[in-house]
Chains A and B, each alone.
Chain A
Amino acid sequence: MTTTLNAPATGTGQVPRTGHLRALESESIHILREVAGQFEKPVILFSGGKDSVLVLHLARKAFHPAPLPFTLLHVDTGHNFPEVLAYRDKVVAEGGFRLTVAKVQDWIDDGRLAERPDGTRNPLQTVPLVDTIVAEQYDAVIGGARRDEEKARAKERIFSLRDAFGGWDPRRQRPELWGLYNGRHAPGEHVRVFPLSNWTELDVWNYIEAEGIELPDIYYAHQREVFRRNGMWLTAGEWGGPRENETPELRWMRYRTVGDMSCTGAVDSQAATVAEVITEIIGTRITERGATRADDKLSEASMEDRKREGYF
């Protein structure tokens, strides 16, 4: 039902020694080293999406040639793109990383979570995430969120203190000055760390091109059977689509973000290489989340509200 092209060959060499991308890389590496220096048990949230792939890439650079001082955690909604899960497992196997998977399905099966009527599981990730942080005693949780994604995230600190419930209180944020990151926290609290805070979607892609980083191939144009719902092109799957009145059609598509299948939309695209993706992003009129995330459109403050509940 789904045809994907081979992931394009990328890699034009390394980032130049000076300039914007190098400055961003240096800052992110500094942040990741601060995490290793300040925390006992940090973990990287790794979904196989481009931002978490980039975080992992930068983390490997930060500690080269030593092994990564972090393990990986994936909160699996059960509605993931199979291509992305295959990519995730390949990266983990090749890198020799340790991956913990928290499956939303397990929480549903034993009654700790209830399936939502609309079938989307993205909001259900929060409980397994926070439960796993508590159970594994992670004290720093590194994520790939960027401030340019969304206006509530524009207010996010690089080191963001969370309470025992994983909750974010924007009024309790610590001011962050110069390059000084305060990771102190009380027992039970943890810190979310966002090394890509100052990167934009375009920076991420320019860096992926410069570094030749491989991504799941659904980021590149391919023919895909999709149907229309709430202004999004969604892929059919076990999560509950298409419904009777929704007609699948074959289109050239790619994904700008990768999340739960029930709420992540594909965009019309012919961009089959990194360079073409970059050209497409430069010309776009729609933001990344605006184009592809149904759950951000629920209300003006949906991201803020989810973050308050412990969402990453």
Chain B
Amino acid sequence: MSETLTTTPDLGADADTAAEAFGPSARAAERGLLRFATAGSVDDGKSTLVGRLLHDSKSVLSDQLDAVEKASDARGLESPDLSLLVDGLRAEREQGITIDVAYRYFATPTRTFILADTPGHVQYTRNTVTGASTADLVVILVDARTGVVSQTRRHAAVAALVGVPHLLLAVNKIDLVDFDEAVFDRIAADFDVYCRDLGIGEVTAIPVSALHGDNIVTRSDRIPWYRGPSILEHLEQVDLEHPEAESQGLRFPVQYVIRPRSAEHPDYRGYAGRVAAGVVRPGDRVVVLPEGRTTTVTGIDTADGALDSATVGDSVTLLLADDVDISRGDLLAAVTDAPETVSSFTATVTQLAEKGLRPGMRALLRYGTVSAPVIVQDIAHLLDIDALTPQPAPDALSLNDVAQVELRLARPLPVEDFRPGGAVGSLLVIDPADGTTLAVGMVGDRRAALRPHAGSRRVVQKDGTVTDGSDTSSAPAADGRCRPAADPVDPTPLAVAATATDSDSFPTPGP
């Protein structure tokens, strides 16, 4: 991963222009916050691309570059190694690899960014899941000389699995194939076919040279046949509207009960939490789950005063009409669109720890603000995330496995299918002994949820136009090189069980 830029960054001049380039409006970059992740295999140039993006967008300050220069010099390198900017741990620098996800921050006049810089080296699946889980967009790198490889498909599949709406394919090292348009077209077509199978909402392919800075921040005049945006321009333009999130029924996991018991507020009882789905307004009827009583929202409180409404992502405190017994772990949901309570459910999990999930294992479930005992009832099958086909279930999961499992709850809970964004339907499986996060998961059969793709698709073409790719069949591209994912072998989807019959038989866990 330790690639060295051949073009030496001109430290002084770049830093000088930083304020002019992005300064004045960095204050008011209110187009919104874009969270994105990078993925790519070793040697695809990911660290170089991230370093280039930060450097060329003037997001690296002079003392950071000084430190990189010194460290590069100490290693006998002729020019600054920008991967040292992002590889923050001693072991990473020693080994020249990225070990762990790191988060970086930068802003342009139009937008602020949080970049989850994920390692592409070993253990890629769990790292890609980690980085992608909060991302609005994932940048996937391929080497123009090799094109779409198994890792590329895995990264795209993981992004689809966690519901990332936008993918950006950076066809890197385009200079090493003489800026050949046909090479780019072929790779973009290969990737598009695979993404169509995955049901990714938007796909953009951009030819780049991370080493030389072509199409990273500014558009390259060395690639005249490409008239689309640079990577940074695309990141600035991506549409972040999630109108569907607000049209869904309210989901409000109760985090904490606020009871001042003070002279000023003797009877105040508020339910603090963050809106996970939908909108809440005073007057709304809500049901308290899993118990099932209904009541009315009388107010939405914040430290800055009452609100008329609160929506997805807002941390607020709800006041209710009735003195209902509600505590942390309860869910307030719209009466008209409430989830069912279930005593067992299917989840698509990624194994994160060495200690693998196995049937019969007792664990702790974290679901929203719920913490509850759970038994791994069954491992239905492994998921080959290259082809998204089911494979036979092992006795126990191994690190990085993606599998479909059935979890049985001690008591019925309102667990429902995963929604992109992860505020609904995401879970952790925790080792009760030492607290280790064993696996993370998404409720439901994600493979079945991914396809066939039903929604509209946007594909940004290389001439800069946007087309609707939704009605295209998944036929191979004309040159026959693309590899559509294998025919879906339909595993019997494990429907979310809606019964609560066996909850009593679950033994009470120890303290």
Which residues from chain A sit less than 8 Å from chain B, CB to CB?
14, 16, 18-20, 23, 25-27, 29-30, 33-34, 36-37, 60-67, 147-148, 150-155, 161, 170-171, 173-180, 182-186, 189, 197-198, 200, 202, 206, 278, 282-287, 290-291, 300-301, 304-305
In the bound assembly, the distance between CA atoms of A170 and B262 in angstroms comes to 43
Q: For residue B313, which residue of chain A has the nearest CB?
A: A26
Selected from B23, B85, B112, B256, the residue in CB contact (under 8 A) with A20 is B112
By a CB distance below 8 angstroms, the chain B residues around A155 are 88-89, 100-102
Query: How many Å from the CB of A277 to the closest CB on chain B?
Result: 12
Selected from A37, A161, A291, A305, the residue in CB contact (under 8 A) with B255 is A37
Query: Is B33 close to A, CB under 8 A?
Result: yes
> Are A154 and B328 interface neighbours, CB within 8 A?
no
User: What are 11 A-B interface contacts by the 8 Å CB criterion?
Assistant: A30-B274, A64-B303, A65-B303, A66-B259, A148-B104, A151-B85, A151-B102, A179-B423, A180-B366, A282-B27, A290-B64
Query: Is B372 close to A, CB under 8 A?
Result: no
> Are B23 and A283 interface neighbours, CB within 8 A?
yes
> Are A170 and B114 interface neighbours, CB within 8 A?
no
Within 8 A of A (CB), among B296-347: 301-304, 313-315, 317, 328
Given A175-B130, A175-B352, A300-B67, the answer on whether A63 and B435 have CB atoms closer than 8 Å is no
Query: Is B61 close to A, CB under 8 A?
Result: yes
Apart from A37-B369, A151-B86, A282-B19, list 8 A-B contacts with CB within 8 A. A20-B30, A61-B302, A154-B88, A170-B89, A175-B437, A178-B133, A186-B435, A286-B63
A36, A178, A183, A186 pick with most chain B CB within 10 angstroms: A178
Contact with A along B249-262 (1 / 0, CB 8 A): 00000011011111
By a CB distance below 8 angstroms, the chain A residues around B437 are 174-175, 182
Q: For residue B130, which residue of chain A has the nearest CB?
A: A175
Selected from A175, A179, A285, the residue in CB contact (under 8 A) with B440 is A175
Q: For residue B100, which residue of chain A has the nearest CB?
A: A155
> Are A65 and B264 interface neighbours, CB within 8 A?
yes
By a CB distance below 8 angstroms, the chain A residues around B85 are 151
Q: For residue A184, which residue of chain B has the nearest CB?
A: B435
Query: Is B32 close to A, CB under 8 A?
Result: yes
Q: For residue A152, which residue of chain B has the nearest CB?
A: B88
Query: How many Å from the CB of A193 to the closest CB on chain B?
Result: 14
In the bound assembly, the distance between CA atoms of A61 and B27 in angstroms comes to 24
By a CB distance below 8 angstroms, the chain B residues around A16 are 30
In the bound assembly, the distance between CA atoms of A300 and B273 in angstroms comes to 41
In the bound assembly, the distance between CA atoms of A200 and B103 in angstroms comes to 11
By a CB distance below 8 angstroms, the chain A residues around B436 are 174
In the bound assembly, the distance between CA atoms of A38 and B303 in angstroms comes to 22
* Number of cross-chain contacts by CB at 8 Å: 200
Query: Is B24 close to A, CB under 8 A?
Result: yes
A60, A151, A152 pick with most chain B CB within 10 angstroms: A151
Selected from B32, B33, B63, the residue in CB contact (under 8 A) with A290 is B63
Stretch at the interface among B194-202, B379-387, B424-432, B498-506: B424-432
By a CB distance below 8 angstroms, the chain B residues around A200 are 105, 107
Query: Is B39 close to A, CB under 8 A?
Result: no
Given A285-B15, A286-B61, A286-B62, the answer on whether A202 and B256 have CB atoms closer than 8 Å is no
By a CB distance below 8 angstroms, the chain A residues around B91 are 170-171
Query: Is B137 close to A, CB under 8 A?
Result: no
By a CB distance below 8 angstroms, the chain B residues around A37 are 255-256, 328, 369
In the bound assembly, the distance between CA atoms of A152 and B87 in angstroms comes to 9
Query: Is B268 close to A, CB under 8 A?
Result: yes
In the bound assembly, the distance between CA atoms of A29 and B259 in angstroms comes to 17
> Are A177 and B272 interface neighbours, CB within 8 A?
no
In the bound assembly, the distance between CA atoms of A153 and B102 in angstroms comes to 9
> Are B18 and A285 interface neighbours, CB within 8 A?
yes
Q: For residue A201, which residue of chain B has the nearest CB?
A: B105
By a CB distance below 8 angstroms, the chain A residues around B369 are 34, 37
Within 8 A of A (CB), among B271-305: 272-274, 301-304
> Are A62 and B315 interface neighbours, CB within 8 A?
yes
Query: How many Å from the CB of B59 to the closest CB on chain A?
Result: 10
Selected from A176, A180, A184, A287, the residue in CB contact (under 8 A) with B427 is A180
> Are B30 and A182 interface neighbours, CB within 8 A?
no
By a CB distance below 8 angstroms, the chain B residues around A29 are 274, 315
Q: For residue A189, which residue of chain B has the nearest CB?
A: B435
In the bound assembly, the distance between CA atoms of A291 and B67 in angstroms comes to 13
Query: How many Å from the CB of B160 to the closest CB on chain A?
Result: 16
Selected from A25, A65, A197, the residue in CB contact (under 8 A) with B265 is A65
> Are A184 and B364 interface neighbours, CB within 8 A?
yes
Given A65-B265, A173-B100, the answer on whether A186 and B260 have CB atoms closer than 8 Å is no
> Are B260 and A152 interface neighbours, CB within 8 A?
no
Given A155-B89, A286-B61, the answer on whether A198 and B102 have CB atoms closer than 8 Å is no
By a CB distance below 8 angstroms, the chain A residues around B16 are 285
Query: Is B208 close to A, CB under 8 A?
Result: no
By a CB distance below 8 angstroms, the chain B residues around A178 are 133-134, 421-423, 426
Given A62-B315, A63-B258, the answer on whether A179 and B274 have CB atoms closer than 8 Å is yes
In the bound assembly, the distance between CA atoms of A286 and B30 in angstroms comes to 24
By a CB distance below 8 angstroms, the chain B residues around A170 are 89, 91, 99-100
Q: For residue A57, which residue of chain B has the nearest CB?
A: B303
Selected from B19, B88, B421, the residue in CB contact (under 8 A) with A283 is B19
A18, A65, A67 pick with most chain B CB within 10 angstroms: A65
Query: Is B71 close to A, CB under 8 A?
Result: yes
> Are A185 and B435 interface neighbours, CB within 8 A?
yes
Within 8 A of A (CB), among B1-50: 15-16, 18-19, 23-24, 26-27, 29-30, 32-33
Selected from B19, B27, B63, B315, the residue in CB contact (under 8 A) with A33 is B315
> Are B268 and A33 interface neighbours, CB within 8 A?
no
Query: Is B434 close to A, CB under 8 A?
Result: yes
> Are B255 and A285 interface neighbours, CB within 8 A?
no
Selected from B61, B71, B434, the residue in CB contact (under 8 A) with A186 is B434
In the bound assembly, the distance between CA atoms of A29 and B310 in angstroms comes to 15
Query: How many Å from the CB of A278 to the closest CB on chain B?
Result: 6
Query: Is B358 close to A, CB under 8 A?
Result: no
> Are A33 and B272 interface neighbours, CB within 8 A?
yes
In the bound assembly, the distance between CA atoms of A19 and B313 in angstroms comes to 11
> Are B64 and A197 interface neighbours, CB within 8 A?
no
By a CB distance below 8 angstroms, the chain A residues around B30 are 16, 18-20
Closest 5 CB pairs of A and B: A184-B435, A290-B63, A151-B88, A178-B422, A61-B303
Given A178-B133, A285-B61, the answer on whether A198 and B105 have CB atoms closer than 8 Å is yes
Query: How many Å from the CB of A191 to the closest CB on chain B?
Result: 9
By a CB distance below 8 angstroms, the chain B residues around A186 are 433-435
Q: For residue B268, which residue of chain A has the nearest CB?
A: A65
> Are A282 and B62 interface neighbours, CB within 8 A?
no
Given A170-B100, A184-B364, the answer on whether A30 and B255 have CB atoms closer than 8 Å is yes
